[in-house]
Amino acid sequence: MANKSILVTGGAGYIGSHVVLQLVAAGEQVVVLDNLSTGFENAVIGAELMVGDTGDRELVSRILREHQVGAVMHFAAHTIVPESVADPLKYYRNNTCNTRNLLQACSEGGVRHFIFSSTAAVYGIPEDPLADEQTQLAPINPYGTSKLMSEWMLRDLSAASPMTHVALRYFNVAGSDPEGRIGQSTRKATLLIKVACEAAVGKRDHVSIFGTDYPTPDGTGVRDYIHVDDLADAHIRALDYLRAGGESATLNCGYGHGYSVREVLDTVSRVNGSPLTIHEEPRRAGDPPMLVARADKVRKLLKWTPRHDDLEFIVRTSLEWERKLLAKPPE
């Protein structure tokens, strides 16, 4: 029997649009639901775009019914950590309450498989900087808490119904489509590689290092950076896994090793061919010295093998996209 269609919420955003691209390339029927608050219409390639909100249960139910949706990939969320601290209810409304609404519609509509975009922020500042899926869950900001609450709802719904799910806890996502079709166009971005590449092409006058006295080899924070194309591939494999009868699972998604802030900035300078202007600032509250994924489980369970585990490649695709945006900003 042919697979039913796939609903991708937030499919006009950074990660969602890369997943849509791979789903379409695999021959899947895809419909995207996005309110375009942070996404872009021209980032949706090869799929139907429905402009609307996951909080609109009538709209969601109609899409599930009319498109015969059998699986949902849920990316729609607010993702800026400092904003979540300043406006927590915005994050609980969109990331938690709207996810509950979506899950209700999926349950009533007979959706069998659900892939959830979660985050390493659910771990907070773990004692062991190498975090596995059993690491204590202790988010330190409303963004991480809003995602963890969604994980719990999904866990409980799967236990009470035929739905199966995979929650992928992302570490630091970066890079852009290697063919240059789409990329990270997020306005007011806070992710390091995006910010550094914006500075490299002249959109910012400097890059800040927040903390140079951490107990790491060069004193700056260490993170696990994963190319968005590899992350998208993990979602495709998660769906294949569930369709083959796999049990619900929560999985870290990273490469299992990290780079320091200085290493990232040095790589951006080298690939760009000119040095960045760097300001050294005090530590930010809530930044762990090091956070890296133990990612053995995702590789084994989903038979996932990253293709772009190379900081220079990640930076190069990011820089190429920033240059493209400079020539033609997103609409």
Domains in the chain: boundaries: 5-174+225-253, 192-223+256-324
Report which residue type is found at 256: G
User: Mean pLDDT over all residues of the chain?
Assistant: 96
Characterize 214-249 residue by residue with b for buried, 16 or more Cβ atoms within 10 angstroms of its Cβ, and e for exposed: bebeebbbbbbbbbbbbbbbbbbbbbebbeeebebb
User: Annotated catalytic, 143?
Assistant: yes
The 10s digit of each residue's pLDDT in 260-292 is: 999 999 999 999 999 999 999 999 888 899 999
Which of these is catalytic: 123, 143, 170, 255? 143
Bridging pattern class, strands 5-9 and 69-74: parallel
CATH entry, 5-174+225-253, from 3.40.50.720, 1.20.1250.20, 3.40.190.10, 3.40.50.460: 3.40.50.720
HSE-up (13 A, CA, CB side) for residue 325: 25
In the three-class reduction of DSSP (H, G, I as helix; E, B as strand; rest coil), residue 168 is classed as strand
Q: What is the DSSP letter of 118?
A: E
pLDDT above 50 for 49: yes
Q: Are 257 and 292 in contact (CB under 8 A)?
A: yes
Give residue 287's pLDDT.
87
Domain 192-223+256-324 carries which CATH code?
3.90.25.10
pTM: 0.96
The 10s digit of each residue's pLDDT in 205-255 is: 999 999 999 999 999 999 999 999 999 999 999 999 999 999 999 999 999
The 10s digit of each residue's pLDDT in 61-79 is: 999 999 999 999 999 999 9
Q: How many angstroms separate the first and last alpha carbons of the chain?
A: 39
Rg of the chain's alpha carbons, rounded to an integer? 19
Q: Are 54 and 60 in contact (CB under 8 A)?
A: yes
Report which residue type is found at 108: E
pLDDT above 80 for 2: no
